[in-house]
Structure formats: structure tokens, C-alpha cells
Amino acid sequence: MNLMHLFKMAFLLTVLLFLVLMGVHNRGVVDFNLPPLMSSVVHQPAALMYFAFFAAGALTGTIVTVGRGKPSAPKGDK
């Protein structure tokens, strides 16, 4: 395991720690409106909203980065 993997793991654990802290301390209900996609207002606890937005961001980042490999060197250059 190299240093970059350790850094990424520490960063992810830090973000998850903040997510847990937000869930513990933000128990109020939040109204969420998104008129183009939803006609009704969603009433959910703030912690659940934080988790949903974190999950959407993590999923988006995963989809964007999937399939990126190291480019191969041109075959004509030796």
C-alpha cells in the first residue's frame, strides 16, 4: 500500500467522521424543494439530507473516475 492510498483513506474517514457528527448534532427537519423534478416538498431530518447529498456526490465521483487507466505508450516509439 503506497502513501497515496493511505492519504485517500484518511481523507475518506475524515469526511465520514464529519457526516456522523452532522447526523448526531443536526436533528431538525429540513424542507427540500426541487421544482423541476419534484412537485411536492420533502420534509426530512437534516442528517438524512446530508447523507443523501454525500451519497450522491460519492456516486457521481465514482462514475466519473471509473475506467480511467494509465494511457499506453505509442507503439511506434522505441
Tell me what the mean pLDDT of segment 10-30 comes to: 83
For residue 17, the model assigns a pLDDT of 83
Residues ≥6 apart with Cβ < 8 Å to 54: 15, 19
pLDDT greater than 60 at residue 78: no
Residue 65: which region, alpha, beta or left (left: phi > 0; alpha: psi -120 to 50)?
alpha
Give residue limits of the domains in the chain. Answer: 18-60
Residue-wise pLDDT for 43-67, tens only, equals: 888 888 888 888 888 888 888 888 7
